[in-house]
Amino acid sequence: MDSNTLKTILKIGETVAVEFKRCGNGIESDTYDSVCSFLNRFGGDIFMGVMDDGTVNGVPPKAASDMVKN
């Protein structure tokens, strides 16, 4: 994905196929709900480290390795 596509997604915001997850200290419990929802529909994209308003906060480095494992 190029930076222009990402900027467009962040500007449009969440949709039926796009979810933003804050991930302050790791994967939040509602992330798994979103995964299940996407699996039962047509798929989608989950952007970790993004606030509901599209602000990118990133993922804390200490939480990143645990997130990859999960």
Q: pLDDT by residue (tens digit) across 37-49?
A: 999 989 999 999 9
Asked whether residue 12 is assigned to any structural domain, the reply reads no
Asked whether residue 45 is assigned to any structural domain, the reply reads yes
* Residues 49, 68, 61, 56, Cα dihedral to 10°: -10
**pLDDT-based confidence at residue 55 (cuts at 50, 70, 90):** very high
pLDDT score recorded for residue 26: 80
The conformation of residue 11, written as its DSSP 8-state character, comes to H
**pLDDT-based confidence at residue 50 (cuts at 50, 70, 90):** very high
- How many folded domains does the chain comprise? 1
Asked whether residue 64 is assigned to any structural domain, the reply reads no
Q: Which two tokens stand for residue 43?
A: 């798929």
pTM above 0.75, yes or no: yes
